[in-house]
Structure 1
């Protein structure tokens, strides 16, 4: 297996649902609960700036409307990405990948970047995000883990910055998933937690992959994954699971 310096517990989108997802406020709250690794979604603005957002559109989590990737960063950076969650977070801005990189590096935190392309921009997003990650983490011992549901995005990331660790996200074991992960030279498989059982964990580990799960919000599910010997648990429930137990 490839080297694996990452902690087991990973805070989903910064702090799960307790703060506005994919913002620095969420990262700070996750850190306050003892988390040292965070998952976030990254896509590109119209002018090629990597920024944090899960949805293709701005409507759900910001004061904006329309497709996020069609707006320049100058406009995106002025949106309110906190009020939708609660009044206490009103005025919280969208975060750029550079903002998040600086925060994690200054505090010794680890990052899982899910490459989340605007549809049709898989290759461009994979390339730009990987190049940005390599530049931002240059000289740091532990780089971010790059993951995606889109093999095209991971292939572009591999071609641009092959030294950065990659993980294939899976919501089902579709035909050719194992061969695809091997071809992409992935370090990890990041699966819907229900996909893991003793047989699939053995299959993945025998092929040299670390085994991670999303999104684990129940105690019984976490216990099952720990008993199976999986390597990483991505959770919204930063208030339920203490990473000090790993």
Structure 2
């Protein structure tokens, strides 16, 4: 079974990283939600992708320069559609309270590669722990030092390094981080790379895949999960109700000969 994670919620149908997008993803039978967390000036974890509020709200400035109360004055929906005017940037706690009423899994991406957000790992971890959701949460980040910080807090947390480049034998690197999970960009994959992950018992959750033909191929490869903007279409492909011919991905590695590589 390949799990379907809604990327920033059902972000093709509702403004990303809002409660409307998360609720829509649940309606579309996603197995999990992928969302992005940053910290406000007063250290409140909030759900927003960019380091600034400009693209997805009617405000300007860095998230870290706003207090939580100030952020609540911004509209996070009308940039997407007038239908969503009045949507607010949710807090992580608001989401967790809602999530507890569902069976959803959660992938929290810590957005701390540009803004360091000192102490973010413990703040987020303790919030998840307080709501007794540790067993349903996966932490990912492009900041792999941050993932190791989480491991120091709790060796049992599930971490998954994000990457988008052509890593050499990435399974060895993943193992060096004391985890068996990885979240690669779909362009970095190739049958030989996926075979390496399988041979080393590493769970692969691929981002961000919207093309049904690519989804089909990845499902055939039995990846752990697909992170997608269109959970409804991706679900239909995964359960066989939408029939498509698979397309092999990973042209970045077209020169690799699997027979000689292993």
Moved more, 56-65 or 189-198: 189-198
The total of aligned residue pairs comes to 239
Structure 2 distance, partners of 1:195, 1:13, is 21
- What's the RMSD between the two structures over aligned residues? 2.1
Q: After TM superposition, what 4+ stretches of structure 1 lie above 3 angstroms from structure 2?
A: 173-180
Aligned to 2:70: 75
Structure 1 distance, partners of 2:136, 2:234, is 25
Instruction: State how 1:1-246 maps to structure 2 within 5 Å.
Output: 8-117=3-112, 119-121=114-116, 124-136=119-131, 138=132, 140=133, 142-174=135-167, 177-242=170-235, 245=239
Normalising by the residue count of structure 2, what TM-score does the alignment of the two structures yield? Answer: 0.84
Moved more, 214-223 or 187-196: 187-196
Distance 1:76 1:180, change over 3 A: farther
Distance 1:41 1:141, change over 3 A: closer
Normalising by the residue count of structure 1, what TM-score does the alignment of the two structures yield? Answer: 0.89
Distance 1:96 1:11, change over 3 A: same
Superposed CA deviations along residues 165-200 of structure 1, whole A, max 9, x for unmatched, are 111111013368544422322231111112222211
Q: Which runs of 5+ in 2 are unaligned?
A: 241-262
- Report the CA distance between 1:104 and its aligned residue: 1.1
- Alpha carbons 2:169, 2:196 under 8 Å: kept: no
Q: Which runs of 5+ in 1 are unaligned?
A: 1-5
- Alpha carbons 2:209, 2:227 under 8 Å: kept: yes
- Alpha carbons 1:10, 1:36 under 8 Å: kept: yes
